Amino acid sequence: MNITFDAATLTYDRHTALEPLSLTLVERRIGVIGLNGSGKTSFARLIVGLSQPTKGRVLLAGLDTVVDAEALRGRTGFIFQHPANQIVLPIIGDDVALGLKGKGFGKAEIVEKVEAVLSKLGIAHLQARRPHELSGGELQLAALAAVLVTEPDVVIFDEPTNQLDLKNRAQVERAVAGLDSMAIVISHDLALVEGFDRVLVFDRGALAFDGEPLEAIQRYREIARR
């Protein structure tokens, strides 16, 4: 999947959330770091079509996120900072299956796909469980399963290790590393992005650095010390 920002800008009323941005993303693992309010989430929302650029364009595989929104449906997935909020059905297996309904799959095929994605993430035992019974890491993986079952080309994570203990953090880290899809991870967890292919640093709505993880982390620390 190629993601291209072509002078894309995002403005709310008189506030510019994202300055004109031009870049192309092709790497498998991309980290996005920066202080709160720096433009990270605005950047991610433009990719998945949750926001539309005020000026410029965002292209996924050559398709415009605004003009070609219908053609891009299902090709991106977003894991929100609080995954419990995106699990809408009372049983995990049913929630994972929800994204396949209305896509022409038979009941047996849906069951097969749900079982396969849960097994791949190591959470097959959670299929009959309820969201309130799960740990933070299990909730993250359940939300990820509901996204992955539709086979998106790119998955965006918003603070996936926020408030997780070491065990749950390790679960999520392994899941991100094992994805076949492109993964874009917004995070304050700097250790999580150290091994990524590319890291973007945002500052005050603009891209402040784009490159190797260790250099990006150093740049972020310099910004934080101002």
Q: How far is CA 142 from the centre of its chain?
A: 14
Q: Which domains does the chain have, with CATH numbers?
A: 28-49+74-224 (3.40.50.300)
Give the Cα separation of 103 and 113 in Å (integer).
13
User: Six-digit token pair at 176?
Assistant: 């991100």
Contact assessment for residue 15 and residue 21, using Cβ atoms and an 8 Å cutoff: no
Give the rounded percent of residues in the chain with a pLDDT score beyond 70: 100
Predicted TM-score of the model (pTM): 0.91
Q: Cα(62)–Cα(45) distance, rounded to whole angstroms?
A: 18
Calculate the average pLDDT of the chain: 93
The predicted-structure confidence for 59-73, as pLDDT tens digits, reads as follows: 999 999 999 999 998
pLDDT score recorded for residue 21? 97
* pLDDT(17) > 80: yes
**Band of residue 82 on the pLDDT scale cut at 50, 70, 90:** confident
pLDDT for res 156: 95
Structure confidence at residue 135 as a pLDDT band (50, 70, 90): confident
Q: How confident is the model at residue 24 (pLDDT cuts 50, 70, 90)?
A: very high
